[in-house]
Amino acid sequence: MSIRITTMSENTASRMGLLGEWGLSILIETSGQRILFDTGRSFSAAYNAIEMGIDLTQISKIVFSHGHLDHTGGLLPILKLIRKPIEVVAHPDIWQSKYSTLSGRLRRYCGVPFSREIAEGLGASFKLTGAPLWLSKNVVTSGEIPMTTKYEEIDSGLYVKEKDKFKLDPLRDDQALFIRSEKGLIIILGCAHRGAINTIRHAQELTGVEDVYAIIGGTHLMAASPLRMDFTIAELQRLNIQRLGVSHCTGMAASALLAQTFGERFFFNNAGTCSNF
């Protein structure tokens, strides 16, 4: 099975002509199937698709990693571009009223920036489930990710608003995508709010595959404590990861540390980066 992974939108761009925008969108092409994992913050994924000559009308599904606007906000421009009905797989909690204080002291809305009705009017049909969903024989969504490590926790600056009260957001909607390849597991992360290592452990359990070949996407290490960073690196080394393409919420300092540790196995996975497996 040939697998190609192309990043459509990320905080930074890999070359001139592409847009960088805080957020993430990754196109996964396997034999006979094209899935768009997240859609970026606004129009950058649709713009970059045109710039890269990638025909997004060929995608058969969209998967949302969670409800934050930097992963879901690009849906409407993509629906307007592809002009066809498309299934969007996500956890039901993406529709919660999500807020953040991460970029300042004020709580700001950071959830899905459009109504379900508007997206449905443009062709989206939502398949909402908290359970893993096999999209083909070798590709599965994570469903809810159990939090099993002691050192990974969800940011304290993320909230859900319910009846005018703010509660800490458990990010039950946080999902990843797992691909069983001949070389081992390829794990595509959105923001990894529930922890990159928790996600990897869940991937091994769910797919029955122990070997993890590649990790691509947001590892959410940008605010990790030195302890969490140490444990994460030790675990990634123990797993003998062969390709580590970090993006987005990994953060500069953590990316530099991972680059130093993993050498040629490391790459920065930004808009326009294409990996073949």
Q: Which is nearer to Fe ion, 29 or 38 (CB)?
A: 38
Closest approach of Fe ion to the CB of residue 218, in Å: 6
Closest approach of Fe ion to the CB of residue 124, in Å: 20
Closest approach of Fe ion to the CB of residue 45, in Å: 14
Q: Distance between CA 51 and CA 272 in Å, rounded?
A: 10
First-to-last alpha carbon distance for the chain, in angstroms, is: 9
According to CB under 5 A, which residues from 60 to 119 bind Fe ion? 68, 70
**Pure H helices in 208-251:** 226-238
Number of chain positions touching Fe ion (CB under 5 A) = 4
Contact 241, 213 (CB under 8 A): yes
Examine residue 173 and tell whether it contacts Fe ion (CB under 5 A): no
Look at strands 184-189 and 176-181 and give their pairing. Answer: antiparallel
Q: Which is nearer to Fe ion, 82 or 249 (CB)?
A: 249
* Rounded alpha-carbon distances, angstroms, from residue 54 to 49, 50, 169: 5, 6, 36
Can you read off the two tokens belonging to residue 35? 């899935």
According to CB under 5 A, which residues from 216 to 255 bind Fe ion? 249
Residue of the chain from 19, 191, 214, 244 that contacts Fe ion (CB under 5 A)? 191
Closest approach of Fe ion to the CB of residue 180, in Å: 26
Q: Distance between CA 161 and CA 179 in Å, rounded?
A: 34
Q: Which is nearer to Fe ion, 94 or 203 (CB)?
A: 94
Look at strands 33-37 and 24-30 and give their pairing. Answer: antiparallel
Q: Which stretch binds Fe ion (CB under 5 A): 80-88, 139-147, 189-197, 237-245?
A: 189-197
List interacting residues with Fe ion (CB under 5 A). 68, 70, 191, 249
